[in-house]
Amino acid sequence: MSKILFIRTQGEKNFSLNGPPLELLEVAGYLKKSGHETELLDLTVEKKEIDKEFISDFDYILIAYYSLNRVSARQIIKKIKKINAKKIIIAGTVFNNDSHTTTVWEHTMKTVPGIDVCLIGETEETMLDIAKGKPLNEIDGIAFRNGDNIIKNKERNVTDNLDTFGMADWSLVDFSKYHSFLCGTYNGIDLSKQAPVPIRFSRGCIGACKYCALWWVWKKWRTKSGNHMFAEINYLYNNFGRNNFDFRDDCFGADKREVEVLCDNIIKSGIKIAFSVSSRVDILKEESLLKKLKQAGCYRIFYGIETGSQRILDEFNKNIDKGEMIKTLKLVKSLGFELHALMIIGSSAENVESINETIDFLNDVKPDSVSFAGGVMLIPGTAYYQQAKNSGYINDDFWLSNKSYKIDNSKNSQFKNFIFVKAVKERKKIENIKNEYNLNNYFMFGLSNLKSFISANLLK
């Protein structure tokens, strides 16, 4: 039996707002199921001194290593190796569509000498092999050091039946350390009282959007059974008093039958819960399924809408028809769900026409809330990242810097994207882009950059 320490470090944003680190707890749960001992250190909510005495008990240390937390992860790795150079450090797992050790494993191993093993792709079976003490050269899905050499083994096939992994190890979590950013009441539940618990019904996505790396990380879409998903919710409800949940699926509802089984179980059990889901408008769209979700406790749906322009949708490779998207979103609103629109404003193909189309679209659909990405974030593993590398706009050495990420401003300047986002936020169409290049906007642009700099460098 091995003892493994799981560490989540701080990232570009406060990861604790996302609740406990589901991606680590899922792996810990599988190892615990197989008889291994695990412990969690979430540095986003804990101030634990990492010293020789603390780390001496562990056979392996797994550090969540993403593009967006790599700076703090490198610092922790360096600190641990300074304390004990022989301590085996493993880097990896997946946060949203970000799995740095999967997409740029070679650069990571070459530039972060404290990492002994990089996890590539799905991690449960890989970590189990490591915990069992299997020779590293016989373990699929890793890159590792052998003296001065870096060796990458063959990739591991993903597991089709997610039920075999069991449930996340929620016993490692002190839920009192996480706070809700929500407000309002649904199903008799005050959403401000409990931080929503992150849970996952499925992995992967049916799409292949150019700004997303899920296709590389998860390989294909797979789901748990509705019975298994209910068992985990029921366990959290009865053992920890949790009644507020956030499904972290990227494509919730792709298997309608299993979602119906989940909803039927919740309704039949009589437990009162509230939950939100995330999906695509071409997947979660059937009225009968939406009504059943509503009855089971779903109050909010996050849709990856990105834009109100069909041209930009096609550029993103969304494979979604704008007309059908409007139809689905209006149905969701009519059924009483809170509709949250996830938008990407300011891609390299964006122009005044597409911005004005997006404003018209939002005015028509009227989402309850909107979050904006001001430009396409260049994340390793995405088609846009590869295009940017090929053109020389970015290279892997960027990730050695302390900058959180890089936005593709190769076609539209940072200031122009600021103008685009501002117009969409205010729902104010642009008549002449030249008129937007004024002193007031320059001042607001500079002020927003100053706030970002202070947040990133002075408030940590």
Residue among 23, 76, 70, 25 at smallest CA distance from 49: 76
Q: What is the pLDDT of residue 454?
A: 46
Q: Both 372 and 232 in a single domain?
A: yes
Phi first, then psi: what are they for 303, rounded to 5°?
-115, 135
pLDDT tens sequence for the chain (460 residues):
999 999 999 865 555 467 999 999 999 999 999 999 999 999 999 988 899 999 999 999 999 999 989 999 999 999 999 999 999 999 998 887 788 999 999 999 999 999 999 999 999 999 999 999 999 999 999 999 999 999 999 999 999 999 999 999 999 999 999 999 999 999 999 999 999 999 999 999 999 999 999 888 898 999 999 999 999 999 999 999 999 999 999 999 999 999 999 999 999 999 999 999 999 999 999 999 999 999 999 999 999 999 999 999 999 999 999 999 999 999 999 999 999 999 999 999 999 999 999 999 999 999 999 998 889 999 999 999 999 999 999 999 999 999 888 999 999 888 999 999 999 999 999 998 888 888 888 788 877 765 554 444 444 4
| Cα-only R_g, the chain | 22
Q: Both 235 and 95 in a single domain?
A: no
- From 152, 171, 198, the end of a domain falls on 152
Q: Both 185 and 138 in a single domain?
A: no
CATH of the domain at 336: 3.80.30.20
What CA–CA distance (Å, rounded) separates 36 from 447? 51
Q: What is the pLDDT of residue 199?
A: 97
Residue 9 token pair: 């470090």
- Per the DSSP assignment, residues forming a β-bridge with 298 are 275
Whether residue 447 is contained in a domain is answered as: yes
Whether residue 175 is contained in a domain is answered as: no
- From 103, 135, 152, the end of a domain falls on 152
**Adjacency order of strands within the sheet including 60-64:** 37-42, 3-8, 60-64, 88-92, 117-119, 142-146, 149-152
Q: Both 381 and 274 in a single domain?
A: yes
Q: Both 127 and 237 in a single domain?
A: no
Whether residue 167 is contained in a domain is answered as: no
Q: Both 137 and 201 in a single domain?
A: no
Supply the range of the domain harboring residue 106.
3-152
Phi first, then psi: what are they for 49, rounded to 5°?
-80, 120
Number of domains in the chain: 2
Q: What is the pLDDT of residue 214?
A: 86
CATH of the domain at 148: 3.40.50.280
Whether residue 115 is contained in a domain is answered as: yes
Q: Both 71 and 199 in a single domain?
A: no
Q: Both 227 and 344 in a single domain?
A: yes
Q: Both 241 and 195 in a single domain?
A: yes
Q: Both 302 and 413 in a single domain?
A: yes
Whether residue 157 is contained in a domain is answered as: no
Whether residue 172 is contained in a domain is answered as: no
Q: How far is CA 114 from the centre of its chain?
A: 25
Pairing mode, if any, of strands 338-345 and 369-374? parallel
Whether residue 65 is contained in a domain is answered as: yes
Q: Both 285 and 401 in a single domain?
A: yes
- From 134, 152, 170, the end of a domain falls on 152
Say if residues 289 and 301 touch (Cβ distance below 8 Å). no
Q: Both 140 and 220 in a single domain?
A: no
What CA–CA distance (Å, rounded) separates 389 from 396? 8
Whether residue 173 is contained in a domain is answered as: no
pTM assigned to the model: 0.93
